[in-house]
C-alpha cells in the first residue's frame, strides 16, 4: 500500500505534469495560427495567469527539499524555482505591454516552451519513479540529458525579458530599475553554477556501473 508521503508526492508531480503539458500543448497548437493573424500577444493574455499559478506551485518543492521530504539541495532548488518565479511575477506580469510586443513574445514563448518541455520530463520522471519499481533507461537518460539542450535557450529567454523590461519600461523607481539590473547581471554566474551542477549530477547518475570501484 502506498504511504501518505508517496501518495502526496505522486499527486503533486502528476498535477504539475498535467499543468505543464497543457501549457506547452496550448502554445504549440496556437502559436502559428495566432502569429499568422498578427494576434500572437493573445497567447500571453490567455496563458500568463495559469503560468503564474503553475510556476508558483513549484515553490512547494523548496519546502519539500528543506524538510527532507525529497532528496534535493534546498539551495539549488530555491535558485531554480525562485528565479523563474521572479521572472513570472516581477517581469512577465509586471510589464504586460512589453510582453505583448514581438520582442517580448519571443522571450515569453521561449520561456514557456523550454520550461514546459523540461518540466514535463522532470515531473513525468518523478511520477514513474514513485509508482514503479524499475525506471526505464530511456526515461532516466532523458531526465538527466534534456537540460543540456533546453537550459541555455531557457536562460537566454529569461534574461532577454529582464533586459527588455530594464531597457523599455518607463516610470520605474530607481530601486526597481536597480533590481532588474542586478537580476540581469546575476544570470551569468547563477546560470553557470546551476548548469555545471546539473552536468555533475548527470555524470554521477548516468555513470557506467562497470566504471565504479
Task: Exactly one of 12, 151, 187, 192 is catalytic; name it.
Answer: 151
Task: Exactly one of 158, 163, 179, 192 is catalytic; name it.
Answer: 158
User: Is 151 one of the catalytic residues?
Assistant: yes
199, 211, 90, 72: which is closest to 148 by C-alpha? 199
Q: How far apart are CA 109 and CA 196, in angstroms?
A: 25
User: Is 119 one of the catalytic residues?
Assistant: no
41, 48, 154: which is closest to 91 by C-alpha? 48
Residues with a catalytic annotation lie at: 151, 158
Amino acid at each position: 500500500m502506498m504511504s501518505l508521503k508517496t501518495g502526496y508526492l505522486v499527486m503533486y508531480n502528476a498535477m504539475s505534469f498535467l499543468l505543464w503539458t497543457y501549457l506547452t500543448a496550448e502554445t504549440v497548437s496556437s502559436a502559428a495560427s495566432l502569429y499568422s493573424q498578427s494576434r500572437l500577444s493573445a497567447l500571453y493574455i490567455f496563458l500568463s495567469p495559469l503560468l503564474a499559478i503553475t510556476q508558483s506551485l513549484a515553490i512547494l518543492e523548496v519546502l519539500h527539499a528543506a524538510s527532507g521530504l525529497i532528496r534535493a539541495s534546498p539551495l539549488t532548488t530555491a535558485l531554480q524555482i525562485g528565479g523563474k518565479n521572479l521572472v513570472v511575477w516581477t517581469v512577465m506580469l509586471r510589464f504586460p505591454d512589453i510582453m505583448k510586443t514581438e520582442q517580448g513574445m519571443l522571450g515569453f514563448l521561449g520561456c514557456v516552451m523550454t520550461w514546459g518541455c523540461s518540466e514535463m520530463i522532470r515531473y513525468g520522471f518523478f511520477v514513474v519513479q514513485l509508482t514503479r519499481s524499475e525506471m526505464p533507461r530511456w526515461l532516466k537518460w532523458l531526465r538527466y540529458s534534456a537540460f543540456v539542450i533546453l537550459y541555455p535557450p531557457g536562460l537566454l529567454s529569461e534574461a532577454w525579458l529582464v533586459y527588455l523590461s530594464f531597457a523599455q519600461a518607463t516610470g520605474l523607481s530607481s530601486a526597481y530599475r536597480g533590481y532588474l539590473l542586478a537580476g540581469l547581471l546575476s544570470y551569468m554566474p547563477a546560470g553557470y553554477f546551476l548548469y555545471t551542477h546539473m552536468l555533475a549530477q548527470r555524470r554521477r547518475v548516468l555513470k557506467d556501473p562497470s566504471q565504479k570501484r
